Amino acid sequence: MRRGFMLSVWRGLLVCGGLAVSGCAMKPADSFTLEVDLPANFRFKSDAAYRPATGETCTLPKRRGKRPEDKVFDTLGKPVAHRVSFEVPLTERVDGCPLVLRSITFDMYAKWGERSTDIGGDFAFINVLDRLEEGRAGMPESGVQELRGRCQWLFRTVGPLHAIRKILKCNSLDGGGRLLKARAGGVLQRDQLNGKNVRMVLELMREERPYMGDNWVRFPQGWKRCFGKSQEDQFAFCRGNTTDFKPFKMPDGRECMIYPTCTE
């Protein structure tokens, strides 16, 4: 009887071991699924930080370099919009100290041009709390909580040739789709997450805008760079002068007077 039971267990382990890469592997007992919808040519590296639970007296030693209490999730960019998914534990134990998930930081990178240096980046942040503030919505009955954000390219000029460079800016959206000042991400309540899905959805605006105010003037065909005090003035604030402009250098080497079309 015992021999037959052990043989069944052994066969089960062999079957599950052979299927681990296709879904037989068990999920962590206390975890949630993190999904991130990314625009084309976006990638990120995220850092899930675990710290002692509220009320725990243990402390983690100070470290330099790698921190075993942090977990890193990385993804590569694709030329099309896509979704990535990770299983994120809610608890960990390091050096005998029970830890809970406190936050997830996303270092996001995106390409805006063909050159290897044509890359911009921004941060997204998910804060995981013991309790949410009163009035803040928690996990929906569907078991999927969406954190929506919107990214936009901001353009500017740099250097004596006034070369175009772009900066990525990503902010959260409220439930009505209105842009907030807070960076992309959101706030979650830890005890609502086990077995659930959290989906961070990032969209990219097609329209770009200037990185700083009072540097560019908008026309029907695009934006013109204010002249400033002289051709060499790299800051070149308009200061009310909306008739004198200076050329700038596009990433492909063209010298233009209007962005982004180069044609008036």
37-84 per-position pLDDT tens digit: 999 999 999 999 999 988 888 887 776 655 666 788 888 889 999 999
- Residue 16 clears pLDDT 90, i.e. is over it: no
Residue 245 carries which DSSP code? B
For 87, 124, 216, the CA distances from 105, given in Å and listed in that order, are 15, 6, 33
- pLDDT at residue 65, as a whole number: 56
Strands (DSSP E) contained in the chain are 31-38, 42-52, 70-75, 82-89, 91-94, 97-111, 119-129, 144-158, 163-173, 179-183, 185-189, 197-204, 209-210, 216-219, 222-225, 248-249, 255-256
**Which of 67-76, 90-99, 106-115, 150-159 has the least mean pLDDT?**
67-76
SS3 annotation, 177-206: CCEEEEECEEEEEHHHCCCCEEEEEEEECC
Average pLDDT of the residues of the chain? 86
Q: Which backbone phi and psi does 158 adopt, to 5 degrees?
A: -140, 155
CA 88, CA 136: separation in Å to the nearest integer?
A: 23
- Residue 229 clears pLDDT 90, i.e. is over it: yes
Mean pLDDT computed over 84-95: 92
Whether the pTM exceeds 0.75: the reply is yes
**Token duo for residue 87:** 């299983």
- pLDDT at residue 133, as a whole number: 83
Q: 190, exposed or middle or buried, with CB in 10 Å at 0-12, 13-18, 19+?
A: buried
Q: Is the dihedral of CA 233, 238, 240, 245 positive or negative?
A: positive
- Residue 128 clears pLDDT 90, i.e. is over it: yes
Q: Is the dihedral of CA 245, 251, 253, 259 positive or negative?
A: negative
H/E segment holding residue 137: none
- pLDDT at residue 96, as a whole number: 85
Closest CA to 187 of 142, 115, 139, 248: 139
Phi-psi group of 2: left, alpha or beta (phi > 0 → left; psi -120 to 50 → alpha; rest → beta)? alpha
- Residue 207 clears pLDDT 80, i.e. is over it: yes
CA 188, CA 195: separation in Å to the nearest integer?
A: 14
pLDDT band with cut points at 50, 70 and 90 for residue 85: very high
CA 240, CA 229: separation in Å to the nearest integer?
A: 12
- Residue 100 clears pLDDT 80, i.e. is over it: yes
Residues 6+ apart with CB under 8 A from 59: 52, 97
pLDDT band with cut points at 50, 70 and 90 for residue 27: low
Mean pLDDT computed over 102-128: 94
CA 173, CA 179: separation in Å to the nearest integer?
A: 5
- pLDDT at residue 28, as a whole number: 54
- Residue 6 clears pLDDT 60, i.e. is over it: no
Mean pLDDT computed over 138-142: 88
